[in-house]
Structure 1
Amino acid sequence: MHRIIRTLRTERGLSQQQLGALIQLSASSIGSYENGRLVPVQQNAKILDDVLGSGDRVQRASAEARGMSFAGFLRPWAEMEERATLLRSFQLAVVPGLLQTREYAERLLRVGPVDDVPTRLANRLTRQQVLTRADDPAEFIAVIDRGVLHRQVGTPEQMAEQLRSLAEAAARPNIWVHVVPGSADAYHGLNGSFAMATVDDHVFGYVDSHFGGDVISNPADVQTLERSWEGVRSYALPVEESHDMILKAVQTWS
């Protein structure tokens, strides 16, 4: 896939910066496409085809690359993520995948018997584009337990970088990050992490397990997740207080 983008770009005499400017992406994003670190989401692949006059070559190649990089259990959820207008995530133990830095994500992926970490890592970083794409990025509401800010993943320097990145992400107009304080005592989130995606006015859930993950589509089960979501939101701090708590946690790792 990455060779196709590089070839099409050079054939048209464009630099990475020039191509990025045409589709409202950074030159580094184009570079990541061309070296295989990222795979364009469907929307960006279509824009690339339009700008490069390549029919649907980039779309077909990127779709194939995404399919190969996703674990079978994750593929249906990743497709919903890409189509979602609203994403919601509660994480009890780690930073949500859509907001993880490269180093933080890689450290998590190397825990346990995971095969082909580079491909899994590229896949996770590619999924994050749903929040940063130029045209109509998804809205994302993340609620995290306070313990996430103080659980070391990687080196202290990598933790500080991750939390700074989290604070910066929360400043974007389509992203809200809330922290559940330690004073929350027992609350719904202690039952485990989960996510929800709103696609075409329908809500779907996703729950991780040791054996992969399950997409939740049964209306009764989705309603249960909705109640859990309202529960964790009721204990979470407002955005401004959460932002201050994240920045204070950065200092503990610096």
Structure 2
Amino acid sequence: MSGQDDLDPDRSLWHFIAVQLRVHRERQGWSETRVGELIDRTRSVVSRYETGKIHLPAKIARLIDDAWGTDLLFTRLVGFANAAHDGDWLVGLADWEQRATRLRLWELVLIPGLFQTEAYARAALAAGLAGDLEERLQRRMNRQKAVFERDDPPHISALINWPCIAHPIGDKDVMRAQLEHLVQLADLPHVSIRLVQPDANAHPGLAGAFEILTVDARDVAYTDDPDEGRLIISPPDVQRYTLRYDRIGELAVPLDPSRVLLTEALEKYT
């Protein structure tokens, strides 16, 4: 890697940190040498941080945040990158979710991962091609525990596309248990589930599933993908997902009728 031209901030969170480090340094009017003096490192080490050759340590990220008044930006980014798999945009989503005060979910083709029974999750994950099944299944179950077994669970608002309900995953028993679980979740005071029926026609949600998380009074978005997801932290980009969620919500069935639809769908598997 010869320099910043070789960095790809759209695919790697560490690359994003390296790019942002240089952007903010230049915005502050600081030289690499001055940054080195702040963090007790040589100019060449600072250059290696900015070209992604070495990763920015959490302790140094905090020093930089304090000096530049960046409101813990680099501290948080480094923390999330360390929690990620190989530092890519597939960040430790569970880390975000277990600290979130609010979750807004849109799911296009499958029951949301946080709502899946173990049997449903196993059947859905078995259809994939990546990774060890048992490891991925355990990771998904751990995500759920981190959210629902908290003393102060987040408020969860889920918009679920009708094909998630209508398309069977696993056998009849698996789907019956999954729909029963959804009905039970819908009765929880901090969970709301609304369905988007087929007559909604074309809408912004058809572009793909995503999740909006409120962490430390700040929204971030996470886009879903069959193999890996991507974290969105830029406020303008996050706002676009928020608007997309609101537009999908305008088409969704209200809470009580959605629960009735879930119950009716459940009857098909009994």
CA spacing shift, 1:135–1:216, aligned 2, 3 Å: same
The one-character-per-residue Cα deviations of 1:1-20 (angstroms, maximum 9, x if unpaired) are: xxxxxxxxxxxxxxxxxxxx
CA spacing shift, 1:224–1:122, aligned 2, 3 Å: same
Cα drift, residue 72 of structure 1: 6.0
TM-score, normalised via structure 1 length: 0.70
Cα drift, residue 183 of structure 1: 1.7
The one-character-per-residue Cα deviations of 1:44-67 (angstroms, maximum 9, x if unpaired) are: xxxxxxxxxxxxxxxxxxxxxxx6
Which position in structure 2 is the counterpart of 1:146? 162
Cα drift, residue 174 of structure 1: 0.8
How far apart in 1 are the matches of 2:94 and 2:86? 8
From 178, 181, 195, the equivalent of 2:194 is 178
Mapped pair 1:249 → 2:265: yes
Pairs within 5 Å for 1:67-106: 73-106=89-122
Which position in structure 1 is the counterpart of 2:250? 234
How far apart in 2 are the matches of 1:246 and 1:108? 20
Equivalent pair of 2:222/2:231 in contact (CA under 8 Å): yes
From 118, 137, 141, the equivalent of 2:134 is 118
Pairs within 5 Å for 1:29-44: none
| Identical columns (%) | 31
Pairs within 5 Å for 1:38-57: none
TM-score, normalised via structure 2 length: 0.66
How far apart in 1 are the matches of 2:242 and 2:191? 19
Cα drift, residue 253 of structure 1: 2.1
- Which amino acid letter does the alignment assign opposite residue 187 of structure 1? H
How far apart in 2 are the matches of 1:127 and 1:211? 17
- Which amino acid letter does the alignment assign opposite residue 152 of structure 1? P
How far apart in 2 are the matches of 1:123 and 1:94? 17
Deviates more, 1:201-210 or 1:237-246: 201-210
Equivalent pair of 1:131/1:174 in contact (CA under 8 Å): no
SS in 1 for 2:192: strand
Cα drift, residue 189 of structure 1: 1.0
Mapped pair 1:135 → 2:158: no
Equivalent pair of 1:109/1:120 in contact (CA under 8 Å): yes
CA spacing shift, 1:225–1:207, aligned 2, 3 Å: same
Deviates more, 1:74-83 or 1:100-109: 74-83
Equivalent pair of 1:205/1:222 in contact (CA under 8 Å): yes
Equivalent pair of 2:104/2:211 in contact (CA under 8 Å): yes
The one-character-per-residue Cα deviations of 1:110-157 (angstroms, maximum 9, x if unpaired) are: 113222211111110111124422511111111001111110100011
- Which amino acid letter does the alignment assign opposite residue 169 of structure 1? L
Equivalent pair of 2:84/2:91 in contact (CA under 8 Å): no
Tell me the matched-pair count.
188
Cα drift, residue 99 of structure 1: 0.4
Cα drift, residue 76 of structure 1: 3.2
Cα drift, residue 252 of structure 1: 1.6
SS in 2 for 1:163: helix
Which fold has the larger relative contact order, with Cα–Cα distance below 8 Å and residues 6 or more apart in sequence?
1
Equivalent pair of 2:91/2:230 in contact (CA under 8 Å): no
CA spacing shift, 1:70–1:106, aligned 2, 3 Å: farther
Equivalent pair of 1:86/1:139 in contact (CA under 8 Å): yes
Cα drift, residue 69 of structure 1: 9.2
